[in-house]
Amino acid sequence: HAKSSGSNAYSFFEPSMNANAQEQLQLLHDLRTAIQRREFVLHYQPKFRAPAGPALGAEALLRWQHPTLGLQKPDLIIPLAEKAGLMVTIGEWVLDEACRQLRSWMDAGHPEWTMAVNLSPVQFAHIGLVDLVASTLKRHGVPAKNLVLEVTEATAMRDVETSLDVLNRLVALGTSISIDDFGTGYSSLLYLKRLPANELKIDRGFVMQLAQDNEDAAIVSAIVALGQTLNLNIVAEGVETAEQQEFLTELGCNSLQGFLLGVPTAGQNFLGMVDEQARNGYRNVGADGGAG
């Protein structure tokens, strides 16, 4: 992989483009063979303790290296996978690959790192999820406490009793639960109190205008206060500017993630990138230059 195969890779197949039926069929067909052809890859984005390190681990983000269309992102892959009935199978691959990668980083000197894996509603509703997580952890020798499962607030809200049951069983295994895109799903406080979550991830939508928009700042501040009351780790996603980095730290976010600090990158580049940041005492993380 070239260095430029990161998050900015050009994709000329926009999901918003209303692909004609022929193209859709072709893509669905291609997706069916993508696993065997080893076309899926995970990119990893570091999560840092606020304001600028150390790195706490990574979030795994799915990519599809399509043979002719180039690198594809989840906003194309996931709806297609759901349509094709492949989401559970692809999710299995993601979990397996992420745990394999984590084990190798743990062995390479980062035994405390966590790996965050996103779960789609379809996976979350699948009866075999908890067993799958347990067997995958075991296969790779990854302790459950090193795995974070990210579930969006909307997903967790879909069917409250079932969600609580699944989340409680995942927590019983020892994994952590992170509520992704928090602030966009209208959770009631009562429900939030019952969720066995360890972490709230503040949606990027509140971070974008944070330094300019008093209302966004007030919302972030309220989420932080809520999270602290419930004893949750608070992560902000989508940190792109030094101003946001400072602001979020001041407001009390424990952890930060975003292009300023580290872009999603292929597994073989991740350790080099983060170890170099560590050697520099994290001086180059964010405000003083970014992760490049």
Task: Point out which residues bind ligand C2E (CB under 6 A).
Answer: 7, 45, 60-62, 73-75, 78, 91, 94, 118-120, 150, 180-181, 237-240, 257-259, 264
Report whether 51 contacts 256 (CB < 8 A): yes
Q: Closer to ligand C2E at the Cβ: 193 or 198?
A: 198
Place of tokens 């989401």: 87
Among ligand C2E, Mg ion, none, partner that 259 touches (CB below 5 to 8 angstroms by kind): ligand C2E
| Rounded Cα gap, residues 73 and 273, in angstroms | 22
Q: Pick from 232, 40, 84, 211: which is nearest to 153 by CA?
A: 232
| Rounded Cα gap, residues 48 and 259, in angstroms | 12
Q: Closer to ligand C2E at the Cβ: 75 or 107?
A: 75
Phi and psi at residue 124, in whole multiples of 5°? Answer: -65, -35
* Crossing angle for the helix pair 21-34 and 74-84, to the nearest 10 degrees: 90
Among Mg ion, ligand C2E, none, partner that 258 touches (CB below 5 to 8 angstroms by kind): ligand C2E
Q: Least distance in Å: CB of 163 to ligand C2E?
A: 15
| Rounded Cα gap, residues 25 and 225, in angstroms | 48
Among ligand C2E, Mg ion, none, partner that 73 touches (CB below 5 to 8 angstroms by kind): ligand C2E
Q: Least distance in Å: CB of 182 to Mg ion?
A: 8
Preceding peptide of 54 cis, ω within 30°: yes
Residues that bind Mg ion (CB under 5 A): 118, 150, 180-181, 237
Q: Closer to Mg ion at the Cβ: 28 or 219?
A: 219
Q: Closer to ligand C2E at the Cβ: 27 or 94?
A: 94
Q: Least distance in Å: CB of 196 to ligand C2E?
A: 19
Q: Least distance in Å: CB of 54 to ligand C2E?
A: 18
Q: Least distance in Å: CB of 248 to ligand C2E?
A: 12
- CB-based contacts of 110, cutoff 8 Å, min separation 6: 57
